[in-house]
Structure formats: structure tokens, C-alpha cells
């Protein structure tokens, strides 16, 4: 992956953190003001993030209006020195067709319990969830700015870069 001013170890740390975490905080803004929502996500080699949501939600409506969002991904911790995370901002689009199918497959690879529910629901509740997943919007955030924070390297330590290559379909290279 090509990046401006990103060190290989920083890029590796970003990938490791994205692989280790399942939930991101999605920040959007619209006519009703700013909003944040927690969503499951998957990522690819170009740091694109993929998440599922209903376009009728507040963040879905905000994304339809602006096409932009910021995210934060981090583990829960109880000491400032343990804070490590990734912050990104970028453009968000709803995927369709083959792009949606490939992104959904990457998403289901990350969450095998959801894949099982999606492919073989065993209860009415699971069938409802699987059907909603089939029709839900699948979004891609293509990052324009990435910030890695790591307080274990010093209070307020950060490295920032701008990715220059976005893969249009998910999957590690």
C-alpha cells in the first residue's frame, strides 16, 4: 500500500489494531448536529473500513447528506498509558453489486458468528437478523487522514499520514 510519510512500523501497528478490534465509533454530522454510533467493522489492506447499518438511522441519514465521517478505533483501558488507537476521517459510500458482495464476505470473515447466523439461522430472531443484514446498507469509509495514537510511547504520542491508495474491493493483499 502506498502512503505519504507513513513508516512501515506505523502502518503495521494500524493494521494490527484494526484486526484486533471489532467495534468503531462512527462520528457524523447533519442538520440535527453531531452524532456518534458504535458499529462492527472490517478493514482491508488499504485501510478502507466496512460497516453495516440501516440508511434510516441518524448516522445513515447524516452520511447520505455529507458523505463524510470520522472514526475512532481503540481498546478499552483503565490507565492513560495504555491508550492506543486509530482515528480516521474520510469519504463514505454505500457499496452495491460485486463490491457489496466482496465487502460483506470480508465482514463475515471477521465475524464468523454472524456468518453462521447469516447463512444458517436457527431461530425466528436469527432469521430476522439475517434478513435485515441482507437488505442493510454496507458502507465503505475510504480514509483521507489517519492518526495512530500510542501513549505507551509517551503521553500524546501520535503519527499521522494520508493514504494514497484505496482498494475498491476488500481483502488483504
Q: 141-173 pLDDT, tens per residue?
A: 999 999 999 999 999 999 999 987 544 444 333
Percentage of residues in the chain with pLDDT exceeding 90? Answer: 88
Q: What is the mean pLDDT of residues 92-103?
A: 96
Establish how many alpha carbons lie within 13 A of residue 108's alpha carbon, considering only the half-sphere containing its beta carbon: 17
2-6, 19-23, 64-68, 135-139: least confident range: 2-6
Predicted confidence (pLDDT) at residue 90 exceeds the cutoff of 90? yes
Hey, is 33 helix, strand or coil? Answer: strand
Measured distance CA(158)–CA(154) in Å, rounded: 9
Supply the pLDDT for residue 5. 52
Q: 24-64 pLDDT, tens per residue?
A: 999 999 999 999 999 999 999 999 999 999 999 999 999 99
Supply the pLDDT for residue 88. 98
481483502: which residue's cell? Answer: 171
> Which domains does the chain possess?
3-108+138-150 (2.30.110.10)
- In a 10 Å sphere around its CB, with 0-12 CB exposed, 13-18 middle and 19+ buried, how is residue 168 labelled? middle
6 pLDDT band, cuts 50/70/90, is low
The values of phi and psi at residue 120, to 5°, are: -140, 65
Q: Which of 1, 16, 3, 2 is nearest to 162 (CA)?
A: 3
Q: What is the mean pLDDT of residues 2-8?
A: 58
In the 3-class helix/strand/coil scheme, how is 83-115 assigned residue by residue? Answer: CEEEEEEEEEEEECHHHHHHHHHHHHHHCHHHH
pTM (two decimals): 0.88
Widest Cα–Cα separation across the chain: 51
457524523: which residue's cell? Answer: 28
Q: How much of the chain is helix, strand and coil, in % rounded to 5?
A: 35, 35, 25
119 Cβ contact partners less than 8 Å away, ≥ 6 residues apart: 130
Amino acid at each position: 500500500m502506498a502512503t505519504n510519510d507513513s513508516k512501515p512500523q506505523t502502518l503495521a501497528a494500524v493494521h494490527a489494531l484494526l484486526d484486533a478490534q471489532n467495534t468503531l465509533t462512527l462520528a457524523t454530522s447533519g442538520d440535527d448536529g453531531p452524532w456518534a454510533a458504535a458499529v462492527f467493522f472490517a478493514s482491508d489492506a488499504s485501510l478502507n473500513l466496512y460497516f453495516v447499518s440501516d440508511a434510516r438511522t441518524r448516522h445513515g441519514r447524516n452520511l447520505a447528506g455529507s458523505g463524510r465521517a470520522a472514526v475512532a478505533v481503540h481498546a478499552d483501558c483503565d490507565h492513560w498509558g495504555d491508550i492506543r488507537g486509530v482515528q480516521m476521517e474520510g469519504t463514505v459510500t454505500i457499496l452495491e453489486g460485486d463490491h457489496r458482495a466482496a465487502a460483506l464476505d470480508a465482514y463475515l470473515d471477521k465475524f464468523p458468528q454472524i456468518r453462521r447466523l447469516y447463512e444458517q439461522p436457527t431461530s425466528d430472531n436469527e432469521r430476522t437478523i439475517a434478513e435485515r443484514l441482507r437488505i442493510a446498507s454496507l458502507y465503505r469509509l475510504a480514509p483521507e487522514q489517519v492518526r495512530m495514537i500510542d501513549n505507551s510511547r509517551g503521553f500524546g504520542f501520535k503519527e499521522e499520514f494520508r493514504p494514497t491508495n484505496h482498494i475498491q474491493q476488500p481483502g488483504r493483499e
